[in-house]
Structure 1
Amino acid sequence: MTRVVFLLVPQLHLLDLAGPAQVFSSADTFGLGYEAVYVAEHEEVPTAQGVALRAGTQWPALTPDDLIVVPGWRAPALRGTGVLTRATLDRLVAHHAAGGTVASVCAGADALGRAGLLDGRRCTTHHDVQDELARRYPRAHVVRDVLFVTDGRVITSAGIASGIDLALHLVAVRHGAAAAARVAREMVVYARRNGDDRQHSAMLRHRAHLSDAVHQAQDLIDARYTSTVRLADLAAAVGLGERTLTRRFTAATGLTPLRYQQVLRVEHAEHLIGQGATVEAAARSAGFQDARMLRRLRGRAEARQG
């Protein structure tokens, strides 16, 4: 069970909190084991949207597997907003020093900066306060125009809805891209990753549609893409004819079911090669009979990119 502690700061934005909280709640529904805990310096926490929240004031015992998230707050300027005591900031530092992960959404990055966790690290925040964050913490490297940045178990995200992307990324890192895609589908959102990191998984890239039958077919392919997946079996599983499934799958994803499986295999092989595996070993692990097909598909991909 991973405990996710949300540190609630006065005037927080509801979506900064609710987006990531929903991701981890959905992940827990699927049996991935998450428990949300809400703490604040005072029991009643006013929000930027006018709804008051209540939180505990006692911090739970944390392990390195647990996560602290600092949602953002209304901050036309960072200075003078999001007030936290030194004791609270020290809790962020102590959790990170013990091997835990600390994350922020939007202006929440300023709390991490005050704690000293941005020093020497890459980070990001909402575009309206990026310049001020860079001035306040000159030892940090503020990355612009990305959804989130990960650096040394410190994860910062941009404004408001990007907290969903950050949380989906954490689910993908801990449980795999298929799990993150399943959570994104449950939330009816497009599962994005930031432009700073290479997107390794088509499991997320090709989920930006609302076709339930196609999502079901993708779930089946995602679960066993290194094995033989027959179109007839996919069609029967989702209750469609083979031609109808192929037509809907292509319209939704831009790929046929076979091509989608090949993309998953190639990306898996690319990852293994990047980790030092030979092309032959990577091809076998990805489900190819030999390396020739892998080389051919990689060549086609490179030609399209060129």
Structure 2
Amino acid sequence: MNHVVFLLVPGLHLLDLAGPAQAFSTASGLGHPYTLGYVAEQEQVPTAQGVPLLAGLAWPQLGPDDLIVVPGWRTAALADSPVLGAGSLRALRDHHARGGTVASVCAGAEALGRAGLLDGRRCTTHHDVQHELARRYPRATVVRDVLYTADDRVVTSAGIASGIDLALHLIATRHGPAVAAQVARDMVVYARRNGHEPQASAMLRYRSHLDDIVHRAQDLLDTRFDRPWPLPALAAAVGVSERTLTRLFTRATGGLTPLRYQQTLRLERAEHLISHGTTVDSAARAVGFQDARMLRRLRARTGGPDADGA
């Protein structure tokens, strides 16, 4: 996703646009370059909040690694949504057909539906229009009570601020959860759970706090969880005493010490490796345990299987 192009529709909600745009811009500032573009069927696009926006009329050249996002707009009913021309709908279809990813925020799912991209796929939208979306596109599976869905490079999110969650998901998929956690931290947003689905990573699950010292410690542990991190070294790296770091860390993460947090990261990665065919012994070495006994104890403690290949 080197290019992220936003298709702007008259009456769009500013936060539907600004949230994902800020997330990708922040990721770019962290060393993962993105080029953001804005395309519309008219040069000046009115917004629901009254701020007019300027956009280009020509689509840039896009490849399979690029992303098109359709922010949502203010509407009482999807049937009354602004008209999208054949060229815009064709651009959405063609980009997906070439292997690219398309995404929507809020009512923007209507544009994907009109382009035929929701048929046979899971999707979601703002709770006020979920029933209508299901009626208008009966071949789609509209999922309720989730922040976003992803199905065959068609990614949809619920209302307004959930566009940030969608963007963080895409960044985590592309660059890993540690980068997504850094973006969420820089934006001072909570990394929220996605409805009934489990949180993707402990790197995001324990970031719902505003303690900068703890975030800095987590940044170090996230990027080097497979290496030794003695508490004195970690405390010195973030500029506080061992006792202060432990106290702040435990409070911010809901009871985890830095060591337990590191073990959680190691266990999570080990479970991923084991699920893809790695033995317990090999997984233990890969995540930084000197032998497999500690990994087996942690897996047993959390209710996980205790045998190779299980």
Name the TM-score class by shorter chain: over 0.9
Tell me the residue number matched to 2:164. Answer: 164
Does residue 116 of the first structure (1) align with residue 116 of the second (2)? Answer: yes
2:295 maps to which residue? 294
Partner of 1:37: 37
- 1:171–1:180 contact (8 Å) kept in structure 2: yes
Deviations 1:253-275 (A, max 9, x none): 12000000000000001111111
How many Å apart are 1:196 and its aligned residue?
5.0
Deviation at 1:301, TM superposition (A): 1.6
- Whether 1:282 and 2:279 are equivalent positions in the alignment is no
Residue 302 of structure 1 and its aligned partner are, at CA, apart by: 2.1
Structure 1 stretches (4+) deviating beyond 4 angstroms?
A: none
Give the match for residue 154 of structure 2: 154
User: What does residue 256 of structure 1 align with?
Assistant: 257
TM-score by length of 2: 0.96
Identity of aligned residues (%): 71
3-state SS of the aligned residue for 2:69?
strand
User: Residues 86 and 193 from structure 1, CA distance in 2 versus in 1: closer, same or farther, beyond 3 angstroms?
Assistant: farther
Name the aligned partner's letter for residue 69 of structure 2: V
Aligned length: 303
Give the stretch that moved more between structures: 190-199 or 223-232.
Answer: 190-199
Q: Aligned partner of 2:259: which letter?
A: L
Q: Distance in 1 between matches of 2:196 and 2:69?
A: 21
**In the alignment, is the contact (CA less than 8 A) between 1:165 and 1:193 conserved in 2?**
no
Q: Give 1:192 deviation, angstroms.
A: 2.4
Task: Give the 3 Å change call, closer, same or farther, for CA 281–144 of structure 1 in structure 2.
Answer: same
TM-score, length basis structure 1? 0.97
Q: Secondary structure at the match of 2:80?
A: coil
CA-based RMSD of the aligned residues comes to 1.2
Counterpart of 2:242 in structure 1: which amino acid?
E
Q: State the partner residue of 2:308.
A: none
Post-superposition Cα deviations, 1:272-300, rounded to whole Å, max 9, x if no partner, equal 11112122221111111222211211121
- d(CA) in 1 for partners of 2:83 and 2:179? 36
Q: Provide the C-alpha distance between the structure 2 equivalents of 1:264 and 1:80, rounded to a whole number of angstroms.
A: 47
CA distance in 2, matches of 1:184, 1:199: 14
Within 5 A, what are the aligned runs for 1:19-58?
19-58=19-58
- What's 2:307 paired with? none
Residue 129 (structure 1) aligned with residue 129 (structure 2) = yes
Letter in 1 for 2:280: V
- Structure 2, gaps ≥5 residues long: 305-310
Equivalent AA in structure 1 for residue 70 of structure 2: V
The answer for unaligned runs of 5 or more in structure 1 is none
Deviates more, 1:183-192 or 1:290-299: 290-299
Query: 1:197 Cα deviation (Å)?
Result: 4.1
Paired AA for residue 98 in structure 1? R
